[in-house]
Structures are given as C-alpha cells and as structure tokens.
Structure 1
C-alpha cells in the first residue's frame, strides 16, 4: 500500500512539474512576442525619423548621436577624456535593459540573442 502511495505522489509531482514548465514556456513566448513588437515599433519610428534614441547608459557620455534603423553614430568620451566617433549597426536590436553602453569611447550592446557586440573599429 505504501508503494502505491509513493507512485501516486511521484506521478502527481511529475504532473505538477510538467504544468509548471508549460506555464513558464508560455510566459517566455508571450514575453518574447512583446519584445519583438516593441523592437518593431522602435524600428518603424526610427525609420520615419522620429522617436527617442535607443535606451542605455551611453546617453550620459556620448554626444551628437544620430540614429536610423540601420546604424547609430555618436561621439563618446573615452577613459583618457578624449571623444571617439563610434558607429554601431542595428541599434534597435539591442536588448533593453541593459541597452547600449559606452565602454572607453566605444558603443557596445547586448543583442536580443544575448551576444555582446561592439561598434565598428573597437
């Protein structure tokens, strides 16, 4: 009788785990869909020449930024205090947060797929 109860408990735990995994997967897909829609809206807005610049810490240390869907360019402060021109491809494909950052005068972003990408020439 005890063996039967153990089997029932294990089956119940497995079913609960399966449901939790399915719920988590559904939530992840919904979040991903929201991210894709948000990024698409950013791209369309940028293509039309309006809207806010891509988010990130670079806004505190980079000046004269110009952006389109294809690229953005800024003059960013380096550790030495000099400004460097930095050009990053596809700025609206950066995850937010963390968004785009300035690392020693170079624009850097974490892509939606998790890869870190530095501006050209950095």
Structure 2
C-alpha cells in the first residue's frame, strides 16, 4: 500500500498539528537550519563493537561525554538485563525518549533485539 496511509508514520508540528512524514525529505529546512550534528565513535560495553553515532554540535553535556568516549552505565545495564531475561526472536525492545540514541546503540551492538525507539519532538 501507500506509505502515506500508515497512521504510525505521522509526526506532530506545533503549528500544523499532525502530518504525514515525507520520507523523501523528513527534516524541514527550518529544522535543518536549527539542528546539526557531528559524528563520533560509539563502542559497546562488553563486545567492544563500535559504530558511528551522530551527536549534537552544540555544547551539550551528553554529546560532549560521548565525544570523549565516555559511557552511560544506565545503557550498559539495559543490554545486560535484556540478555539475562527470557526473550525470543519476536521480542521487541521499546525505548521511549531515545534522545540521541546512546542506549539504542548499546542495544544494537550488544544484543540481537528488535528495536523500536523514538524521541518525541515537539
């Protein structure tokens, strides 16, 4: 079917209400002018696998820590808890409030979890 008819693929704009996400151009020019990011390396806690992650360009404590190679212990605990509990190939890890995705990166690099993550954006 038409991707524009899928209700979960909608986003909210404070001035315009809900609208269908244009996947050809998901970020408006206004957002593009307001937000930018820089790439840094993220390394997982136990497997030491790594991937690039896009962090905020602005002076942001969380982004600055990731740039320095620091870790958030809360993210390490999430993947440890996932691995310690019963799950199967249909299990889904849902992260609401993913921010820039450090915990999602940990889950991607440390587990075989199916992941749904989002950061509400006004």
- State the TM-score, normalizing by the size of structure 1: 0.25
Greater length-normalized contact order (CA 8 Å, ≥ 6 residues apart): 2
Could you say which structure has the higher helix fraction?
Answer: 1
- State the TM-score, normalizing by the size of structure 2: 0.25
